[in-house]
Structure 1
């Protein structure tokens, strides 16, 4: 089988690179041209690389498969300066060779022959037709633009799938702003209060928690900080972690200095460990790189794209022993708020949709976490303590594919906007209509009317016998029937069957 592999798949197997395998291996097949399928990349024999020439396979991969910085960061270390210099002198205008020369110097820390003169238009490390890209950092020596979303130390990649292209053609944040602008002010304030409360409740629900009143209010206050103009730093994150955690033994003073891991419910032993984040020694550098990307706030990176990278990238690094999930969702709101594309204080309660689509959320997380878990060896000390070892390094977490994460965040944003916020606004409008009609017709205390309206709505236009009996000495019997009738009319509930 190995003789049929070419490009990244060959390099991965031949060099035993400790990274997840390429999602779509390239292999020789009975085709007339290079064809990408859902599962692989099929290569005609006359195009495939023969033998085990590392440089030749790297050139093939860059040309036909795109850019995989993780595999190239290992493979180029096995290419000699002499081999690369000879190739450059023979083809000084080759865009792919110039990109590899640029990456070779970056990854090895060495310098190639300074007398080599290259030519041709500037080449891009990432093909902007294949990937979402960031600001250009240019190398005049090699006539190369590095245009990744991050830098060579930390660079998530996002493929231009058909779904992502569709989302980019829209402007969901502008749609959200227009929705809020079109909402009457009194409804707007109540809808926004609802959004903050439900974002909080569903954020905790995703962690399997039901927050106390104090924890709820603390997280709401936290969310309101997202719009404050403040750069994200380790100290700020520690401050935020201390806000969302109430157990004094779990409060952080800095990033974690011990190994963390995640485990499935009810599964004992190493097989129950579902994800292993980077070692404590790697956390500080990875977080510094992630925060650099977040704080850059480049106009070339759409806010929802950066928000997805920030949220998922943070949870993959897992820099604290507890509170990472809640902070990852705060970062999503923080990036959107800091973009300036949502008015001050506006919030999209995306966690409502995320909780409703929890299986999809888990699948998006596992698109990265599952293959990385296979690169760790976990052994038991007892049912709760483990030893961890891996042949890999922080590179596993530097060059991750954020495509699934970005697609998921786009979907949840639209669903929140079109479904949750719309439904809540309609509910408030109909509730107000019902209240006004009944307040004029009935002599009843405000708090009792609000309560009965709420109860009646929850029961689809009915007030139960229990509530009729409970409030019989406060509300005349015929009032209950009138409340039911108005609620059914305003909320368009069907008449009860006889």
Structure 2
């Protein structure tokens, strides 16, 4: 291929774009294409190279393959290697196609018109760039899928007869993050968490389940604000909790996102409501100069329309075919990276998790998994998950400060938000969902049943209003099952010594150790 031979692919190296290789090896697949064509893209989490050893090793973000895996040193050779062993990285592929132009791809397909990899590259070029190549429709070749379902999660696919392919990409050119199949995700899926949740609630009395659901809903709403470092009034927490409780009932569209922002913000006097019409970033300002110090730069406001349209299309189509938690991770983390609003993005990002899970019937009817509470308890892992992509993205964004001490992005960045590897996000979210199913749901239901038993036994020998029993319980809980001298001398001075001892014995018999008691303790 004359066109591709104009680019020389490098031989063995020990350092690649500041990443050390575990041994001298030749970049292969995406790493070779990024280097040779000078592509300014987020590097894949795992890069490939071929070494001299006859065994495959993986270390320090590198997969070192054997000499027999070494691709032919051409565009076709490295593209085929990438699709075969590394899966699809749509951001790299789109920037490559824009840089290389149509000629090399047309030549590649003409050389091997029935080749499955040639036809996949042809499809991806036209799908990503929106430009048709000067090629006649394929006349032969076995139908294969665009995305290798053994490497990454896709849909069943729709026939694309021009290429004799099945398009199983889980999205559109406007928004299509991808998730790799990993042992971690396979283990989570094998747990069958929806059935486990149903098993938990099966034996819970209806009234207890209703109270459990109400508490978990409030817990999630409160935690979502806490993640943002906010302590809003109780009415705002409850209003947001009601919105979460209705997640999945309304289709996702522009108006629904705007409605959710209005609920989250409440008082919009000092926050500009609606989609951004300027840049945005997450971070701090320099104390002296007020210059932005971004940890993450949001998508350009010029790209918001197409990005939101892509997310809506994903929710209505691909999200219905993927595993629900994987779909929720793609949609929710895609949203938070885009950051379309001036404020409220984080809470809506977590709402979208509930939206997908409820829409897909993942959780029992009327029960909201307190995912935000699980995130709050693992806040460092959550931040690390967010930074797994934003940290690779930030160096590629060219920006300048504005007169309002905001940021103005100077280069094309839209594709970095359309296409990213959401595997760490799916694994993190699945861990949170597992925690809510196996711990929060049964613990809260069990707590309420024990509390009801405690209250019933106390009421069996003494008349006491429910709110007084609640106060009594709190005193016992805070003092390891004993009524303090203060409680005996003030709020419960009317109790006899015998009654107080009996109440303490009931508490001791009814409740597990303190570290197993949840619910009203919060």
Task: Calculate the TM-score normalised by the size of structure 1.
Answer: 0.91
**Native 8 Å contact 1:20 1:375 kept in 2:** yes
**Native 8 Å contact 2:328 2:357 kept in 1:** yes
The partner residue of 2:38 within 2, 16, 22 is 16
Q: 1:437 to 1:204 in 2, by over 3 A?
A: same
**For the residues of structure 1 that align with 2:164 and 2:59, how far apart are their CA atoms?**
33
**For the residues of structure 2 that align with 1:407 and 1:199, how far apart are their CA atoms?**
20
Residue matched to 1:205:
226
Whether 1:315 and 2:329 are equivalent positions in the alignment is no
Cα distance, 1:262 vs structure 2: 0.5
Q: 1:425 to 1:242 in 2, by over 3 A?
A: same
Q: 1:46 to 1:476 in 2, by over 3 A?
A: closer
Whether 1:470 and 2:490 are equivalent positions in the alignment is yes
Q: 1:225 to 1:390 in 2, by over 3 A?
A: same
**For the residues of structure 2 that align with 1:321 and 1:82, how far apart are their CA atoms?**
43
**For the residues of structure 2 that align with 1:335 and 1:237, how far apart are their CA atoms?**
14
Cα distance, 1:280 vs structure 2: 0.5
**Native 8 Å contact 1:255 1:284 kept in 2:** no
Per-residue CA distance 1:45-67 (angstroms, 9 max, x = gap)? 4543465x333322222222221
Residue matched to 1:376:
397
Give structure 1 stretches of 5+ with no counterpart.
Answer: none
Whether 1:424 and 2:438 are equivalent positions in the alignment is no
Give structure 2 stretches of 5+ with no counterpart.
Answer: 1-8, 12-25, 515-522
**For the residues of structure 2 that align with 1:81 and 1:377, how far apart are their CA atoms?**
27
Whether 1:242 and 2:253 are equivalent positions in the alignment is no
**Native 8 Å contact 1:18 1:391 kept in 2:** no
The partner residue of 2:356 within 327, 335, 341 is 335
RMSD: 2.6
Cα distance, 1:79 vs structure 2: 4.0
Alignment of 1:274-313 (within 5 A): 274-296=295-317, 298-313=319-334
Task: Calculate the TM-score normalised by the size of structure 2.
Answer: 0.87
Cα distance, 1:77 vs structure 2: 3.0
Whether 1:457 and 2:477 are equivalent positions in the alignment is yes
Residue matched to 1:442:
462
Secondary structure of the equivalent of 1:17? coil
**Native 8 Å contact 1:7 1:57 kept in 2:** yes
The partner residue of 2:114 within 93, 117, 123 is 93
Whether 1:40 and 2:70 are equivalent positions in the alignment is no
The partner residue of 1:402 within 390, 403, 422 is 422
Q: 1:250 to 1:337 in 2, by over 3 A?
A: farther
**For the residues of structure 1 that align with 2:36 and 2:229, how far apart are their CA atoms?**
43
Residue matched to 2:149:
128
Whether 1:143 and 2:153 are equivalent positions in the alignment is no
**For the residues of structure 2 that align with 1:161 and 1:324, how far apart are their CA atoms?**
29
Per-residue CA distance 1:78-133 (angstroms, 9 max, x = gap)? 44545434433432321111101112223344433444645322122211111111
Q: 1:111 to 1:201 in 2, by over 3 A?
A: closer
Cα distance, 1:341 vs structure 2: 4.0
Q: 1:352 to 1:83 in 2, by over 3 A?
A: closer
How many residue pairs get matched? 491
Q: 1:335 to 1:434 in 2, by over 3 A?
A: same
Q: 1:82 to 1:485 in 2, by over 3 A?
A: closer
The partner residue of 1:218 within 239, 256, 264 is 239
**For the residues of structure 2 that align with 1:411 and 1:267, how far apart are their CA atoms?**
38
Secondary structure of the equivalent of 2:247? helix
Residue matched to 2:77:
56
**For the residues of structure 2 that align with 1:414 and 1:8, how far apart are their CA atoms?**
34
**Native 8 Å contact 2:291 2:405 kept in 1:** no
**For the residues of structure 1 that align with 2:176 and 2:122, how far apart are their CA atoms?**
19
Whether 1:259 and 2:259 are equivalent positions in the alignment is no
